[in-house]
Structure 1
């Protein structure tokens, strides 16, 4: 009887353990557009590849998705031939494999958006955000690559640049946040002595600052015994690798609290007052400060009443 009870308990525990085995790994699949561009004409091809950051080099089966629809392909690469407008969308990939405890999956990749255009003109823009101060290159493509007579670049519907000749590329130098917007282009070309003209769909261009304005966060009671609090300086640093080091400074009443540090936080005595922080990249000559943030009840000196003689 004791043996039967022991076997029953062991079986129940085994089922509990198996039921709690995670079905999704902690790492995420990666997807990349190997050839082609994120904006292509119908009838052209696109080539995507999925990779899984698995140091053990396990055997994975690859799942492909367009939006919420799972595709039939299961290989590491996805080749789209003779594309159709209906194949536009956000593409994801995911890895799956069988293990002793059941089937597990990676997290879905960050999507790659593919736009298949059935028209005559496409404006191809970079897939990733551009940085302030850099040069933006965009290409005004015409189906069949005919000899171009004129191309015009628009931003938010307003003409930005016009050029004659056969080169389809535009270059916008020394970018600023004002260059952010939706761009399109109009192309004119001749076929057998007849002039044709068409305009592309809009393409969004995103511009980022290399160093954003910091935001200070205050965490009170970080160390209750020593009555200390934590200051955290949140900032977006978008410099391309290898990025120069960034220094952080912390202030109270515009007076610096200690030397510069490579950490974006500082632990200080918990006292009322206005606090702020600054992020600085010496090699790039960049420096930005947060808005002051008050902590606790700040005593304001009351004006003295004039004495009556």
Structure 2
């Protein structure tokens, strides 16, 4: 009898379990634009798609604009003939049923949609641009006007001007200095009058493929022994997939600690000194060094002048020996040559402008113009001499690996600049 009662109790336990909503952080949701652009005119449409990394299960989808939950629940979200008030950050989340309640994915990263009620839009690449890329930006005008002139501005200063119907501007070999807020102005003739409209500012982002690393020294942690400390080499790696592997090196007082590793951290003894880390991407010919960081009581002998670490792999000059004393090591002195600036031939122009807003039957005929001045581009070619510091491994270290250690400070530079494989 007791056995029968026990079975009855066990059979009723599932009924007593209250379903709860759980979140699975390992399952990710992602939003992408499948038609349209992130910046559109009012009255145009854009379609978004939500995808979940777990393809073995059947998921439903929740959509959000900012903190507002939207009524749509399908895989796609269509903004049909969008209004200005529908601008915002859109993201999604996957949800499915289970025996213990609803299971949610982590929320996706947002996708920003801008609905513009004006007459001009500057379209820039939707993703981050890399140093050395060639970018095309487009000045879109509402309707089918026959353009007479298009001007590109950065921070309100004219950088390009072109006549005719071509609304596209090409920026070649961009650098971090090219990042900023851009806008455009378009002009056309209608009914013997010149109409001119200007877009709102749009951010153009340019990042380096490999950022300068930052060294972190951690002395306290569950996995750190009492007499050890952890060196972390933090950086950003923006190469497109598939990303070539990165090699990490750690130094104390300019002496390499062990061999190269594929991990951005290393456990070392707690020894006072100046520490640095180096990251290298052999396939791309990229090398970056961190700034030195001191640990403990560093003696004057230990605080030796660090070698000159090149920030970019440009052409290296040959070693120059000291003529006064043959016993001295070769000199190491970075030099830089400044090329003369190139002055733009663009002339100041007074343009009739129009106040941006929701369009009526035609654009207004007056609008304040941004500052128009000739642009100046400067090019700086850096030439760094090879370092002469003696890179001697500490006692007990393994021999130099993959031919990279003996030239760590000066032999990683390619004379042709960074290699590009995409």
Query: Is the CA contact 1:47–1:77 (under 8 Å) kept in the aligned structure 2?
Result: yes
TM-score, normalised relative to structure 1 = 0.87
Deviates more, 1:119-128 or 1:215-224: 215-224
String of CA shifts for 1:227-246, please: whole Å, max 9, x gaps.
33222211111111222222
String of CA shifts for 1:138-179, please: whole Å, max 9, x gaps.
110000132111111011111111111111111111111111
Would you say 1:196 and 2:195 are equivalent positions? yes
State the Cα distance separating 1:18 from its structure 2 match. Answer: 4.7
Match of 2:280 in 1: 280
Query: Is the CA contact 2:21–2:103 (under 8 Å) kept in the aligned structure 1?
Result: no
Greater share of residues in strand: 1
State the Cα distance separating 1:82 from its structure 2 match. Answer: 1.2
Structure 2: stretches of 5+ with no match in the other structure: 302-422
Give the Cα separation in 1 of the matches to 2:142 and 2:32: 25
Match of 1:149 in 2: 148
Match of 1:103 in 2: 102
State the Cα distance separating 1:16 from its structure 2 match. Answer: 8.9
Give the Cα separation in 1 of the matches to 2:145 and 2:158: 23
Match of 1:235 in 2: 235
Match of 2:207 in 1: 208
Query: Is the CA contact 1:94–1:106 (under 8 Å) kept in the aligned structure 2?
Result: yes
Match of 2:56 in 1: 56
Match of 1:296 in 2: 296
Q: Taking structure 1 as reference, are residues 215 and 56 closer, same or farther at Cα in structure 2, changes over 3 Å only? A: same
Give the Cα separation in 1 of the matches to 2:203 and 2:255: 43
Deviates more, 1:187-196 or 1:46-55: 187-196
State the Cα distance separating 1:24 from its structure 2 match. Answer: 4.9
Give the Cα separation in 2 of the matches to 1:140 and 1:109: 30
Query: Is the CA contact 1:129–1:207 (under 8 Å) kept in the aligned structure 2?
Result: yes
String of CA shifts for 1:208-267, please: whole Å, max 9, x gaps.
111111111122367776833222211111111222222221111111122322222222
State the Cα distance separating 1:86 from its structure 2 match. Answer: 1.0
State the Cα distance separating 1:6 from its structure 2 match. Answer: 7.1
String of CA shifts for 1:111-161, please: whole Å, max 9, x gaps.
111101111000011121111111121110000132111111011111111
Give the Cα separation in 1 of the matches to 2:56 and 2:224: 45
Mapping of residues 64-79 of structure 1, within 5 Å: 64-79=63-78
Match of 2:335 in 1: none
Q: What RMSD, in angstroms, separates the aligned Cα atoms of the two structures?
A: 2.7
State the Cα distance separating 1:22 from its structure 2 match. Answer: 2.3
Give the Cα separation in 1 of the matches to 2:168 and 2:87: 24
Give the Cα separation in 2 of the matches to 1:23 and 1:262: 32
State the Cα distance separating 1:66 from its structure 2 match. Answer: 1.4
Give the Cα separation in 2 of the matches to 1:230 and 1:17: 45
Q: Taking structure 1 as reference, are residues 40 and 269 closer, same or farther at Cα in structure 2, changes over 3 Å only? A: same
Query: Is the CA contact 2:19–2:100 (under 8 Å) kept in the aligned structure 1?
Result: no
Give the Cα separation in 2 of the matches to 1:295 and 1:19: 53
Structure 1: stretches of 5+ with no match in the other structure: 302-309
- Secondary structure, counterpart of 2:283 in structure 1: helix
String of CA shifts for 1:94-123, please: whole Å, max 9, x gaps.
222222222222222111111011110000
Match of 2:138 in 1: 139
Give the Cα separation in 2 of the matches to 1:231 and 1:23: 33
Match of 1:83 in 2: 82
State the Cα distance separating 1:75 from its structure 2 match. Answer: 1.4
String of CA shifts for 1:25-78, please: whole Å, max 9, x gaps.
5312111111110000011111111111223131x2221111122222221111
Q: Taking structure 1 as reference, are residues 50 and 21 closer, same or farther at Cα in structure 2, changes over 3 Å only? A: closer
Query: Is the CA contact 1:221–1:270 (under 8 Å) kept in the aligned structure 2?
Result: no
Deviates more, 1:224-233 or 1:108-117: 224-233
